[in-house]
Amino acid sequence: MVRKRGSLILCGAFLFVACNGLLLLFLWGRTPIGRFGEGGGAEPGGREEWGVAKTKGGGTNLAGEVIRLAEEVESELETQKELLKQIQSHRSLWEKRRGMGRRQTDGGKVENKEKEHKPPPQLSAVPPKDDSENKDQSPEENTPELIITAVRDSKGDTQLDNEIKELTDYTKLNVTVISPQVVIPILVIACDRVTVKRSLDKLIQYRPSAELYPIIVSQDCGHAETAQVIGSYGSQVAHISQPDLSVIRVRPEHRKFQGYYKIARHYRWALNQVFNTLSHSTVVIVEDDLEVAPDFFEYFRALHPILTSDPTLWCASAWNDNGREGLVDPGKADLLYRTDFFPGLGWMLLKDIWAELEPKWPTAFWDDWMRHPEQRKERSCIRPEISRTMTFGRKGVSLGQFFDQYLRYIKLNTDFVPFTKQDLSYLMKENFDVNFVKQVYSAPLIKVEELQQGGGLTGTGPYRVQYSSRDNFKVLARNLGVMDDLKSGVPRAGYRGVVSFLSRGRRVFLTPPEGWTKYDVSWS
């Protein structure tokens, strides 16, 4: 397409120069301009108006006519020179883009080293409307528009921006870049639970587009009945199988944790398939015992640009660890937070983060490993007030740990929130931190007994309850009904040490003292 367009432009340039050459020959050979009966021109104003004067002998000033024609030719050549510059600029830009495109081998397969290249931008000129429609508009509004469809890098595309600026400078067109929607695959981690059907049914029910949200079910364990359930969905899902089903050799005291080792191995293989084999740039990971909310896809679609543009974020999660009935505000389904605790249980990961994690991926307990400072690197995740996933799987390697006490009571959102139509820039660190700290530490400081009795409190808050040590935090958390465990000093759902929740209908912040700077990793 680019080669054809470049050829057409060169042909047009040649015809333009040829026509102007014929026009020049005509101008040199024509009769001098004048009135009828005086040598011929028909234009009003005669010789004086056109700069042609009689000599004393009654003849025409030939030298003046030659000078005028030379000036016209010089002006015309300057115009042609500028046009040729623009044509050459267009051609070089298109050649650059064509060089970045995918090259195919003789067998028709794309070479691996070319898979990482972005597709060349598609350009289409939008002609201006009829002058009668635009007569009341400004010159800028009448300028023709050049539409470029191109995939930008997640952290920006300086080369593309420079080329667009060059195009704008030469063509004087309004250049608009349209980025096509990113494909966000859903990776379902499965093993031997035939109840994966419940998870897949909801994903397919709420999925707005099979093209934008392909569902990839990666199965470990080799469980035939589960494989049959997954296969029953046909082309609605892609079914891949982890090939290494061997027993992993572990030290004797870890034999009871064999399942955790297999899960870590499976995650590593499945994520490599998504990012390296299938070449996706992002993924949302769910497990086979999770049910999703109606706005699950909308939620992650809206958070993708926030995640890619803020380097202090490294994941977006659908899960609130303290998302039980009574601890969340049912009227705030659109409320989102930053959190320093890695939540998991339905989370978005980018390819560049996986490239960082994969070489040092652990052999077991991958989720706790993600919560170590060496992996987190002071980065945060996004979490909702009301969870967009809920777990229904008591059976698993954890043998129901936390399920009966916490997980089964997590509230699943039921209202569709149009996140993609909202301004979520408040989640960027530079915006969120200032407002969050101000809101938290301007709240009245109270004792937990005042919350429990409630007699002297008016309104719905917010109120602040302060902890001073690891043991103090655990006591207060238990009294208030929130999860009391810490990982490397970070409380579940916490941000800057602050845990936000509802207690008896009032917004409460469980906080460290004002002036907090960092987590104490010994609080674990």
Catalytic residues, by residue number, are 367
CA dist., res. 239 & res. 219, Å (int): 7
CA dist., res. 302 & res. 419, Å (int): 6
* Among candidate residues 380, 381, 379, 401, the one with its CA nearest the CA of residue 391: 401
Spell 372-391 as b/e; 16+ CB within 10 A means b. Answer: eeebbeebbbbbbbbbbbbb
Are 337 and 303 within 8 A, CB to CB?
no
CA dist., res. 465 & res. 510, Å (int): 5
Q: Could you tell me the strand order of the sheet in which 145-149 lies? A: 122-126, 145-149, 174-178
Q: Which two tokens stand for residue 503?
A: 């207690």
How big is the chain, counted in residues? 524
Helix or strand holding residue 161 (H, E): helix 158-171
Helix or strand holding residue 479 (H, E): helix 470-480
**CA-CA distances (angstroms) from residue 364 to 235, 250, 286, 351, 361?**
33, 10, 18, 21, 9
**CA-CA distances (angstroms) from residue 457 to 73, 194, 453, 503, 509?**
89, 50, 9, 12, 15
CA dist., res. 225 & res. 194, Å (int): 7
Q: Which two tokens stand for residue 77?
A: 């050549």
Spell 452-467 as b/e; 16+ CB within 10 A means b. Answer: eeeeeeeeebbbbbbb
Q: Could you tell me the strand order of the sheet in which 463-466 lies? A: 463-466, 506-511, 499-503
Are 280 and 196 within 8 A, CB to CB?
no
Characterize the bridge pairing of strands 215-219 and 238-241: parallel
Q: Which two tokens stand for residue 88?
A: 């050459």
